[in-house]
Each structure stands twice: as C-alpha cells, then as structure tokens.
Amino acid sequence: MKWTATGGRVKGTVMDEDAIRRSLMRIAHEIVERNKGADGLVLVGVVRKGDILAQRLATAISELEGSTVPFGRINPARHRDDLHIRPLADGTYTSELPEINDRIVVLVDDVIWHGRTIRAAMDALIEIGRPRAIQLAVLVDRGHRELPIRPDYVGKNVATSAHEMIYVCLKEFEDLDCVVITR
C-alpha cells in the first residue's frame, strides 16, 4: 500500500481516468435526457473539485447539444452548520455564478457523504437567486447520509465504512484523474 497526499493508506483505486471520463459522459447524457435538452440549464460546481467537474460536464453537454451551457462555482463555506466547530478558512475560493434565476441548476460535487455540504450549497444558491429547480450530480456517492439529500445523477456508488475516506484526484490539482479509497 502507498501513502496518499491526504496521509491515509490507499485501500484501493475506485475509478481510473477512463472510468471518470465515462461516468461524466453518462451523467451528461442523463442530464440532457431528463431535461429534454440543454435550454435553461446552468451547471454550478461546489469549490474545490465540484467546479472542475461542472466545467467538464458543461463542455460535454455543450458538445452533445451544440450550444453553450453556462457553468459557475459556489463556495458554501459561510452556510455550513459546523462553523461553531470549524471556523471559516480564508476566502481563497469565491463564488462565481452565471444567472440562475428561473434556470435549472445542476449542482455538481465530487463526493457526497453526509449531505451537509450540499445543504450549505443549496442555501448559498437560494441566497443569490431563485432557480426553477436544483438537481444534484456527484461523481461518487459513499452513503452515510445524515440529511435527506439524494443525488439525481451519480457516477459511482461506493460502499464505505465510517473510517474510510474517498479522495478524488483531478489533473487540474494532482496531475492525474482517479478516485481512491483510503483508511
């Protein structure tokens, strides 16, 4: 076993570069099918990795539909319910959003676990505008939900224990695309 940048021992690789690419293409097709095209869609990624995935999905949907799909990023840190335990970090990652009023917003994140980050991201979106609908796309669903939040689009479901972590590596940050499970 090797040590990862996160300090945990790698238990296994859950997705390689090809699996991530195929999952994102499948999710792009599912988004287009469910919404009967790309009109009125906006993709919004949760910073720090969801925004990269949102950009990749927007590109894939734009290529499928032959029209530009706007995308942006949202930092839900101010809306987290654990600020009394974990104070806000510096404001390095700012929200940058296209128009979301009366649009279908597909919120994108790398991993969903308890659902608290997604709840905070939805609160942040609603503070900014009033989407017609919010849908959720995640690359990995690891279960263990604490809130009644369920993704509409999932790249891969991975059963984990509470002691394991899922780490998504993206070329834009780690120079490779893969998903690993660590202890």
CA 56 to chain centre: 11
Domain borders along the chain are 18-159
What pLDDT does 115 receive? Answer: 94
Tens of pLDDT, residues 162-178: 899 999 999 999 999 99
CA 82 to chain centre: 20
* Cα(157)–Cα(15) distance, integer angstroms: 11
* Cα(154)–Cα(30) distance, integer angstroms: 10
pTM metric for this prediction: 0.92
What pLDDT does 168 receive? Answer: 97
What pLDDT does 85 receive? Answer: 72
- Give the class (CATH, top level) of 18-159: alpha beta
Tens of pLDDT, residues 76-93: 988 777 666 776 666 567
Residues 6 or more apart whose CB falls under 8 angstroms from that of 18 comprise: none
Residue 126, φ and ψ in degrees, nearest 5: -70, -25
Q: Which residues of the chain have pLDDT under 70?
A: 1-7, 82-84, 87-92
Q: Answer for the pair 179, 154: CB distance below 8 angstroms, yes or no.
A: no
Residues 6 or more apart whose CB falls under 8 angstroms from that of 33 comprise: none
